[in-house]
Structure 1
Amino acid sequence: MNKVSIEIKWGVIFTIIALLWMVFEKAMGWHDVYIAKHAIYTNFFGIIAVLIFVLALRDKKANFYNGIMTWRQGFVAGLIVTIVITVLSPLSQFVTSTYITPDYFNNVIAYSVETKVMNQEQAEAYFNLKSYIIQATFGALVMGVVTSAAVAWFLKTKKE
């Protein structure tokens, strides 16, 4: 357990910050009044996500590998963080949809139909808890792998 405690810590931190981001989005009105802006502004969380991975792998490098970390070691650490985030993803999505922003699905369905992006049936099939849990889980996995690879590359110890 001690070998992966840093990764577990950062996976939990990531999930908590993601939940706080949802509170922020809701407070900004991106889930209701300004829902038209949601698809653009929600992407800014990507910057925060990458920053968290940088902090996680820097923590692992400094406090487990004594400042010397290969790309492979960093990538594996990032993958473990990703697995923690992926496992917590369904719970995080449930909390978001049930407690933080329970009207989001109704609002985004109405907006999608009103703007003729989707018909009612398509919107209801796409914007629901089950669909979002699946999207969040696979999204966390894919983005985590890519982010882990990139961040590990930049944080690996350079040969002198």
Structure 2
Amino acid sequence: MEKPKPFDLKELGNTGDESCKAWWYFIPGEHSEAKAGCTERMDVISCLRQGFPFETVNFVLENTCVSRKDLSNILHISTRQLNRYHNEDRLSAEQSNFLYELSRLYVRGEDVFGDRHTFENWLQRPQMALGMEVPLQLLDTSEGFRMVSDLLSQIEYGFYS
């Protein structure tokens, strides 16, 4: 009989702090130095102060259901200003914070719904628990993020479906 192999948590792909996972979520793979700089919860604060690389914005636009208009609302800048950025630029701390909150929401939503596609379908439809508002349209304020996150928790625990 074969000796049982010890269980290694790293095999699950969930190593590291949840805060760091949210920081890494939208950072393109070629920015490994940005990911390496965030291994603990306190690291997230200094990373946010330095700002997300602007390429993160393009990554979000290409890999999520978030439109340029939606993202400019979330980041509190005009689409015109968003177009002026270059890949080597960094987002401000405030803009990075809103993008980080979006990434936290994506991590949470995928966990609750099981995959990105299902979460994004939910994110784009009016929700009765939010007064028939579309969750994506509420993400321009911190209270909107909190309401959507709270609703995800309620769904996770079976209050809404």
Report the TM-score, using the length of structure 2 for normalisation. 0.28
TM-score (norm 1): 0.28
Bigger relative contact order, structure 1 or 2 (CA pairs below 8 A, ≥6 apart)? 1
Structure with the larger helix share: 1
Larger Rg belongs to: 1
